[in-house]
Structure 1
Amino acid sequence: MASKSDQLLIVVSILEGRHFPKSPRHSLLVEARFDGEQLSTDPVEQREHPQFSTELAWELDRKTLHQHRLQRTPIKLQCYAVDAGTSAKESVGYIVLDLRSIQEVKQPAKWYPLLSSKYAKLKPALLLSMVLENDSKQMPEPFKAKKAPPRPGIDYGKVIEIWLTHDCITKYIAFLNEEEGYHQIGPADSCTDLFVLSVTVAFAAKLEQLITSTTKISSEGSAFFFYYTLLGNDITSEPFQNLISPKFEPERASVRIRSSTKLIQAFLAQHSTLIGSQVHLCCGKHSLGTAGVPLSGLLRGIGDLDRQPTTVEGAFALHPPALARQALPPLPSDLQPTVGVSVSVRKEGQGVKVGPKSCHSEDAGLECASQDWKILGLMGEQTVSPVRPRPESPAAEQRDPTPSPDRSPIPDQTESEAESLLEDAGQPAPQPSAPDAPAAANDPEGPASSVTVSAPKIAIPASAHHYCFSMDLRSVRSLNVTFPVNCTLRYAYQFFGSAAPIVTSPPVEVKRNTEVFLPRSYCAFDFAALSNQLQDTFLRVPLLVEMWHRDPSSSDVLLGTATVQLSHLLTAEKSRFVGPTGQQHWRQTFMERLPILSTQGSREKVAELCYVTVLEDLGFVKAQDMVVSESSQVWSLNPVRSKPAAPPPHGSEGTAEARDTLEYRAALELEMWKEMQESLFDDQLKKKELSHMQALAEEWRKRDREREALVKKKEMEYCLLEEQLQKTLADLEKREKHLAHAELELHREMRAGHESSMRDLQDNSRRLREDCAHQVDLERSKVRQLEEENARLQQQLSDAASRFKLLERDFQLFREQQHTRPEIQLQSEVNLLRLEKAELERKLESTTKSKLHYKQQWGRALKELARFKQREQENAMSRLKKQQQELEHMRLRYLAAEEKEAVKTEKHELEDIRNELNRLRQQQEEEKRALREPAGAVTPSDGAEERLSHLLEERDTLLRTGVYTHQDRIISELNRQIQEAIAQRAPH
């Protein structure tokens, strides 16, 4: 259970909108979906700027938020226009919000345009703000009704249980229990067993049939992978590059489920889509094909889970999407693309094979285990690697002793690994089948007689430990050369007991800016050493990994080396695991990416290597002799029980007597037996070589058939493309001829038009020259006439000026004569008085107009004041009426309260009187009964009274809780029984 500080709220505030068309018949509604939960705003009127002002919030903890951010779960807002008449919803547009952009610090609101908008020209948008808040609110305690005391008559618990059973529909949901690490299906009291549900994608074939010339591969990368879901978790396989021969590590995804057999069967029937029933082949974000896995066989076998697991497995056909299916021709059954899938359900603790790798995801109860399916035989072929990968625990090889009949047998292990497993299990280990170490199966004396005389013996102290060192060269990336590299990695470490180098095969092609996973790069070594010797060696001697380029046309080229410091493995964290015999062992794991440096003088970085090393300490080795084989130089950890040595013969005895001794005969028999075993071993090697050659030939023929099918398919596509190209070329030739003819016509028309336009231009220029010459002659004649007119006017002007001077002189003389006369002065005074009179009249008229204006303004002010007084009086009257009504209501409420108190008092008095009457009546009845009946008799009226009181008390108690109403079935049943009790009591 997460703490309160881990509880968060994702709050999305929808504030307002813009650029919406106004529509009185519609209202706008916004629905938000996140993690399967849908929230919506209240409908608002559709106008240009609608105001939503709504906050939508989802509760979750930090771990769930982290998972959603990793999976990039979006928040989708869908805007609808709702018709007011028909309530029909029409999508206006949507907005997708990225969960990773939401922070705990509040960000300013932003405008988000609606995608796929119905009103594309207006470009509507919503103003949104997002924030993460701590959910620290205290949840109120749920209401708990008081339990009614048990009464005889009706079992109300049974009635409620029957009612709930009839009104509810059972749906099974798997919810995660993080503390215990499992999913629970069904109620806790019914979940009694633990199951393991597993889905495995093992292999694939004929995947190239899904690719056509029109198929679009994602630009994000050319890697392919398989995808499916398991109880809501998205599972993907390891990416691979080659569709013709896909190579990827098979992975098993498992979940632990706590449930029962019936519940898990019902859950699988309801939620088959959550359990890997569809497997998709993907490239980036595109699905190239889908395979359906029917789970009907899984459901039929669930009933026998107590005895054996139930499994659905096989090769299922991959079908392309609907659009790509039209471009693909129908394929025969032998060319159908398939994927190998296995879905199994078993009880926890039943046998299952586990591969060399396992990983646990962050979700509790989900784990992935990688398996070597080529060893299990599901691919139908055997592939030999330098050293077979060693499982994480030797007990994993013994958990499933009965493989299914359709699987091929498990091939033999390497010598050191098989011996180590047998020794841990407490069984005698067979010696390596080599000429100098014959098998012990044919020797009646056991392992002691299988040791050759010439083999040296090494005594191991009791403090030596049995170690298992494994190294997995995962991938190579960041190539820094200009050409593609056929990469193989090679290394050797003599401390592990083998001088032969370990080489990854087959070579893989590595290109720039790509990461390539190396096949068959896992190798394990079993050896015995002292702990201080191991630490000293790992600290002093590093492990060198060489990167080679294999060129088929020339010799191999050493590109660079990477230095693996094994001392890092000694400082890694130790983890405990249990061996097959129940003993506790220790394991240390270290993973790193190293640069591969060039072997040239520059020591530049050639590539980058990712590797994983594991060191297992399997405990002390018992004091024993160890045998070093001269052929393989591999340490054998088998106890050697040598026979006690016979006393040496005396020097006086002859050679014949020495040959008659038991030792000589035993040595002779041993040599003969050794030769026979060598011949047998040679025969076995020849048979194995023949079988391997046959397997290689069959694989070669198979790949030839695949290549031929691919070539035929490409030839068909190329023929179609060639026909289309020829048709296009013919169309282009016709079009070119048509264009040439049109070009000639256009040149002819342009030449004719040019000649006609030149003639028109010459005519126009000639006419313009003639018009210009005529216009110049006209202008010259006008200029001459204007000059003559100007001379005449100047003469007239000089004459007029002389006349004006004479007249001005005469006018000055006249003015002087006029000023000297008296009537002239009086006339000027009269004129002044008239001007003053006109000014006074004008002022009088303006004063009169102002007076009238002020009178009108005063009248208006008086009218406005009267109107204000009348309005104030009306408001005062309305307030007075309102106060009177409130006083009247208060008086009525007070009278009602007094009347209610009086009624309550009267009820109490009536109740007292009735109780007194009942008591007197009971006394009278008891007296009568005492007179009429013998002592100890009980009347039925007492039982009816008691039952009636109990029923009334039960009904009142249920109604007081607030959970039930008068319409509920329980209350109706109680009322019916109360009526029956009253009817039974009525005659008494």
Structure 2
Amino acid sequence: MASKTEQLLIVVSVLEGRHFPKSPRLSLVVQASFDGEQLATDPVEHREQPQFSTELAWELDRRTLHQHRLQRTPIKLQCFAIDSVSKKKEMVGYIVLDLRSVQEVKQEPRWYSLLSSKYTKQRPALLLSMVLENDTKPSGPSPDRSKASKAPPRQGSPTELLPDKLEAKLVPDQGYHQVGPADDCADMFVLSVTVAFATKLEQLVPSTMKLSAEGSEFFFYYSLLGNDITSEPFHNLLSPDFEPERASLRIRSSKAVLHTFLSQQPSLQVHLCCGTHFLGSTDVSLSALSAVSMDLENKPATVEGVFVLQPPKCSKHTVPALPADLQPTVGVAVTLRREDVPSQSLGKSEGGGPQADIVCPSVPPTSVTPSAEQRPCSSSPGRKPPDSSAPPAPPLSPPSSHTESEAESLLEELQRRKEKAGMAAADLEVPVQLHTQSESAAEGGASSVSVSAPKVAIPSSAHHYCFSLDLRSLGKLSLTHPIIATLRYSYQFFGSAAPIMTNPPVELHRNMEVSLPRSYCAFDFAALPQQLQDTFLRVPLVVEVWHRDSSSRDQLIGRASIQLSHLLRAERSRFLASTGEQGWRQTHHDRIAVFKAHCPSEKVAELSYVVTLQDLGLIKATEVVVSESSQNEPERATQQPSHPAAPTPAAAPVAPRDTLEYRTALELELWKEEQEDLFDDQLRKKELSHMRALAEEWRRRDREREALVKKKEMEYNLLEEQLQKTLSNLERREKQLAEAELETQRLQKELRAEHDLAQRELQEASRRLQEECSHRVTLERDKVRLMEEERARLLQQIADGESRCKQLEKEFQVYREQQNIRPEFRLQSEINLLTLEKVELERKLESTTKSKLHYKQQWGRALKELARFKQREQENAMNRLKKQQAELEAMRRRYLATEEKDVVRQDRQELEDIRNELNRLKQQDDRLGPRPFLPQLLVPVLVTALTST
């Protein structure tokens, strides 16, 4: 059990990063703050994967930790980019860590994405790990920090169970987006975006763009949580006359979860479009809205301002550096409020004009039900947003939308007609599901009444595609128990989020294979070829295998990913469509593994499938409008003239002008003349209105041309200034070049003269060296000739000497043989041997004598040293005796007696050793011969001396 004074350490390990752009001039630093104390890592290189490898620790006790957990004190990590030259520090992003998730058990590191990152192209992330450690160093008791036992983590807080990336899920039947868990997040909020005004938009128009072309309507476009929204089109670029529009959507969440969700969202991009052209955009940060969204109970949170529009990076048109009063701007306001809080002040900040509310549709944008001649273009809400460097293409035509008042009146009219005519509810629903031919019934698919009439814009280059998927069989089950298998999948790119399921379920046993009945499904949709290819290469089709049990809930067995990129690489074949046109067909069949849901590396079964993609060519429809099926055409007023009853046949005959036919014909002629006059009057009014419109359009285009001319004049002035600066730089560089050329010519002359002089010197030196070499060669030849003569002479002398040496050797051999025969020679050799032995014996005698003297000296030194030792011992004994008490006198004498006996015994032992040594030396002398060494008289003397001592 931990003691009450136990100290803890909160350790945050900053390991590495990813998705950072490479910048040699900058360095990265992570600064962490907790409870008012800040720690920072060492600067590292600003590259794609920086390596920090740093641990940051804070010391506290258990009670303080418990208090911080109750107060939800965060650990905030801020990442800064520091310029190595100017030392300027700029924040890249931040991360907020929850202290309640820190445990004493070491956990695996996790990737945390930076919030409010300035790098919008790729979201940078840091690899972090947190652990709670015991502080082992001794520390004194702190008066304000007492310790408590480890408390278990509290349950029920929705922020503890949130995923790393929150998503807004659409609930079609309720008309709102759900953010966070549905059980804990039940508050309703309204998120509104208002595009109020715009100024100086003519600065964004390229000089190559023709404003007089048809369809040159300008409008603003942005995407709010997957809903594409455009403003009302306007024609006057100098003074845009569009009314402020507010687009609102409902979000069901809690305040804390919504705050986290907004901090994770990227910036809202507002684009200025002209027909199919993209002119400029600006970013409105939604993370700033999360910073002011704490007090939503009393007032709404608003982020508004005037934002500068920037041209696209991929465009060749660049806006020159303009003063602040000439920059193109747009006024945008983003508001977040509770649904029960009135939005009275929302319309005051966007200008004094009226506002039109756009209600975002409650279903994601999908394709409408196609007719026999038209195929719609399906949008793909599940696709990844495009890169910020290449902004997404705006819709080809601005979709029309109703205001809230028009929506309410339309709903009331539809309800009245439904009650009056007794129509079914399904007749009033707008068909929004994708046209799908399937053998199995799809789940979900509930549609809702849409009060807007969005247009599905279809590009002229879109193709009509038909995708079919046939799940053939399922087999090789690795589970020990059989399952009742049902396959389920969905692919939002085809225009429907409703899942497709195989029906009826099939029973699958271990190591067997079963076919899947009624598993064929075909999708008709329209898309661009590049869009189709990018989606198939990036997004796989995931098929889920479910086990249906009547006694329990459905259980997910595993998932299989069908890579649609294999279909794009399949062989293409031609076929004749039902319309008579030729198309292309690609087919791919394969067997893939079904991996376990909780363990992606464990295989549980195999799935056999066949996919087919048919390209039916370019689509004919260019626009499909989703409208209510119950909306009736305008009624045409018809008039039927009333006539008096015809006279009876018995009446008298009347004049031809008084007959009913004549009067009817007369009234018809009068009515025709009246209609002709009315028609002529209408034509004159239309002509007048058209002339006025043409004159107004001419004046408007004239003003636009004047603005463009002024803009081009400003650009030309800037270019002229740049050209003058360039000319002056060229003149200066030309003068410098002329001076450099003269200097180069002078240096060339000097180098040429130096080269000539050096060449002449080299020639003279070469001539002298050649003469010297020829003279040396002559001398060497003479020397060689003399040496050859000397060599011949010496060889002759060597031959003569060798012959004389052989002759002498023969004579010496004969002489030796003669001398060996004589007796004197033998005696002389014996004498020499005896002489050598004598010398050797004398040498041994001399060495023995020297060793005898040496031993005498050693024995004397040993005796002196022994006497000196005994004297010193006696003196020490006397000193010890003087220091002892009188009562120990008897013990002292006994001790001295014992000590003397030991000394005598030791001396006797030494004498015995000396006697043994002398005997050994004597025996050695006997073996070596008679040599005088330590006479016998010396031994008893030494023994007597040692005994006496």
Into which bin does the TM-score normalised by the smaller protein fall?
0.3 to 0.5
Greater radius of gyration (CA): 2
TM-score calculated relative to the size of structure 2: 0.37
Which structure has the highest helix share of the two?
1
TM-score calculated relative to the size of structure 1: 0.36
